[in-house]
Chains A and B, each alone.
Chain A
Amino acid sequence: MRVEPDAALGGNEPEEWFASAKKIYPMATHGTFRRIKWALLFITLGIYYFLPFIRWDRGPNAPDQAVLVDLEGRRAYFFFIEIWPQEVYYLTGLLIVAALALFLMNAIAGRIWCGYLCPQTVWTDLFMWVERQIEGDRRDRIALDKAPMTFSKFAKRVAKHTSWLMIAWWTGGAWVLYFSDAPTLVYELATFQAPWSAYLWIAILTATTYLLAGFMREQVCIYMCPWPRIQAALTDEKALNVTYRWDRGEPRGPLKRNKELAEQGLPAGDCIDCGQCFHVCPTGVDIRGGLQLDCIQCGLCIDACDNVMTKVGKPTGLIGYDTDENIQRRLDGKDPIYEIVRPRTVIYAVVIALTGAIMLYALLTRDFAGISALHDRNPIFVAQNDGSIRNGFTVRLMNKRTHERSFLLNVEGMPAGSRIEAVGIEHYFEGRPYVVVGPDQTREIRVLVSSPAGAKLDPSTPITFRLTDTVMGEVVTTKDFFKAP
């Protein structure tokens, strides 16, 4: 039953259904976590921008780019790994490992991904650094935004947006290099000979990078990303999170007043309410409100608070990586405990190891040849005038090596005296078709298997096609059936 708003209770319609996003001016800080973030920024962006230029020799007939997604040739290369479209399950395995790694990180130390590794965070960090170099720190930027337009302000704006666009353009430019030979594409792009799709993708990624890292920033994390919602459901009281230790900090108050309170034996916390923690926050969160969706747990408030605590001569760590459980334990007068090894983390680690092991096993035992057979549906079998029975198959042979290979095709499980023929194949060795398959290619042939005249046959006989490399001896098989009346 819906109850109509009662005006006397104050249930009137709100004035605002939509709110303008509040602009955030994060302040610069320095310390351990800032250094970790810089290091990770250099590593991750370094990998992203330069990986396409790393070469990897795969011999003739194959590209020498270490990481390449060749959509046109329907191949993906990753260093020593080459996968064909039907082997996309390796990607599935990778995604499973990635998801589980995210869960494991979260179970150990919260939103490590969000705070340090997520592209949105990394590029936003880079864009904020650029902004700070040109327009100054928090105060200067607030003042600049309020100031009337002057030549100096205009020049700063132009410099900032130009720098942002250049980074964004480079980001889009690096993206397309993963899909084509990088040095060639760079040359083509520079000489305006590249395919239009390359320019289009660069344009799209330039636009999204510029928009997401320059303007959307924390809005992406708060309103667009599903992970904060999922993460909140996955965390527990034993997971480390960026935590304001309110047991120590509260009641907060100015340094002088709290000192006086303490001297009188009244409760007084260590938090001096300076506001540094939310001034440095890239998403504008006050960590003292506890764990919240908007907090990406980048650790910058830890650095800011530690710096302040050092200055006022108090121990650092008022904000730090801690657990809900420990706050309660300290309130109860117990020592904090840190349990990184617990069922949750062990299970995640085991499943990751298991998935990784399966993938590794699959990669190490991966066939470099392949065979698949498709039985004719119409007719299922053909009765010949001499009384023999013939079945037709469409057989596809795969050569995943980068050189031409020759194979012998054999069928097993047929009665003695049976024949195997392949349409269009001229050479046979001891009754077996001798088939040549080009480098990194497949070849489809029509194969006819005939029973000897008068052989007693079941309506369905299991057979095996066996493909043997004539040089390297690699053998692959596939099962099918020989049908008879």
Chain B
Amino acid sequence: MTDIHKRDVDALSGVETTGHEWDGLKELNNPLPKWWLYVFYACIVWAIGYWVVYPSWPLLSSYTTGVMGNSQRADALAALEAGKAARAELGTKLIDASLADISSTPALLDFAMANGRAAFGDNCAACHGSGGTGAAGYPNLQDDGWIWGGTLDDIHTTLKYGIRSGHSDARIADMPAYGRDGLLEKDQITQVANFVASKTGLETEAGVDLAAGETIYQENCAACHGEDLKGLREMGGPNLMGANYLYGKSLAAIKAQINNPRMGVMPAWEGRLDPATIKSLAVYVHSFGGGE
């Protein structure tokens, strides 16, 4: 038993001190209500219950899983499944709807755009860029230059069967290697390249016979690129009059392309992506703004 007379009581407040003193400052003992203490104990009990029920303690190579088998990973997978199920209805509608119908139905358009955006990032962005602007040698989908056509149907066909993809319905255009295969002399290549350059606003080399170049062009190139150089889509011949060239717009680049042409491959996505996704991609790419 402590002797009550020895207790230190603060004179001003009449409250007993805890006996702790720091440089003359004494701590008053205003006891906390007991229920605070019980709440603290209850929290400890709750924490132990939590350990039992939920995953909590890390072990060397695993962790305690808890009796309820709760797993955020499983929850996330279930949420993904639920999302898929929720998308199923609109996805079916998308497959049945014509491309024009999709564009004019806000609900389908929103769905196709969202679906297309995700699929584009996963499958197309590697070559065409995350914004669809392409890269050197990879077509820009944002602008108005379309080698094979920029309508919804054209884009859909290109997506489905690809270009030089090996698919039996693939779009195929094959530019002869005029230099490498010896189809044209070096001088002739210089002439035709200068002719194209002169038509499309590039500087030409001095002393080159442009008339001869035009003749060579009309005999060899016009079949695919058109007599007016504006390209022929049914042949897959690119427009040479535009501002944007796939492999660079310069005299040297034109010469290089005539000498030993580069031709890219677009994979056929039929079979790799489901029809609804391919349709969504067509709508999404078309919505970039270059679509016709």
Which of A's residues lie within 8 Å of B, judged by CB? 1-3, 5, 7, 9-21, 219, 223, 376-379, 382-387, 390, 392, 421, 423-424, 426, 443-444, 446, 448
Contact = CB atoms under 8 A, between A and B. Distances in A.
B182 interface: no
B244 A385 contact: yes
Interface string B112-126: 010000000000000
B130 A12 contact: no
17 contacts: A1-B22, A5-B19, A10-B8, A12-B2, A13-B18, A14-B19, A16-B29, A18-B37, A19-B33, A20-B33, A20-B34, A21-B35, A219-B35, A379-B142, A382-B133, A384-B143, A385-B241
Given A378-B129, A379-B132, A446-B113, 19 more contacts: A10-B8, A11-B8, A13-B19, A14-B19, A18-B37, A21-B34, A219-B33, A223-B33, A378-B131, A379-B131, A382-B289, A383-B244, A385-B144, A385-B145, A386-B144, A387-B243, A390-B289, A424-B106, A443-B106
B7 A10 contact: yes
Nearest to B26: A11
A19 B34 contact: yes
A390 B132 CA distance: 14
A382 B142 contact: yes
A386 B142 CA distance: 14
Contacts of B133: 378-379, 382
B144 A11 contact: no
A7 B109 CA distance: 84
A4 to B, nearest CB: 9
Contact of A382 (B33, B35, B143): B143
A223 B36 contact: yes
Contacts of B239: 385
Contact of B5 (A10, A383, A421): A10
A17 B289 contact: no
A446 B287 contact: yes
A21 B145 CA distance: 82
B290 interface: yes
Contacts of A13: 2, 18-19
A375 to B, nearest CB: 12
A223 B33 CA distance: 9
B19 A11 contact: yes
B289 A448 contact: yes
Contacts of A421: 289
Interface in B264-281: none
A76 B31 CA distance: 45
A392 B145 CA distance: 17
B248 interface: no
A382 B242 CA distance: 14
Contact of A383 (B23, B33, B143, B288): B143
Closest 6 CB pairs of A and B: A378-B131, A385-B242, A11-B19, A19-B31, A10-B6, A5-B19
Name, among A5, A10, A20, A377, the residue most crowded by chain B CB atoms within 10 Å (CB to CB). Answer: A10
Contacts of B109: 423-424
